[in-house]
Amino acid sequence: MAVPKRKTSPSRRGMRRSADALKAPTYIEDKDSGELRRPHHVDLKTGMYRGRQILKVKSEA
């Protein structure tokens, strides 16, 4: 049977468990389109960011 050679320090144990505190990513409702998007990210459907056109919208063909 496998047995650990050394005791795991509290620091290493805490580092391993740090992923347990991760939260799901947040989404906000877009003011213009009403769809959900990540805060501080460009809306990929409209290409808008903070009220300005950043990306060109692809035409559906």
CB 30 within 8 A of CB 41: no
CA–CA dist 44, 54 (Å, integer): 10
Report the pLDDT value the prediction gives residue 17, as an integer from 0 to 100: 95
Mean pLDDT per 10-residue segment, the chain (61 residues)? 94 94 91 87 87 84 56
**Spans of all domains in the chain:** 23-55
Q: Does the pTM exceed 0.75?
A: no
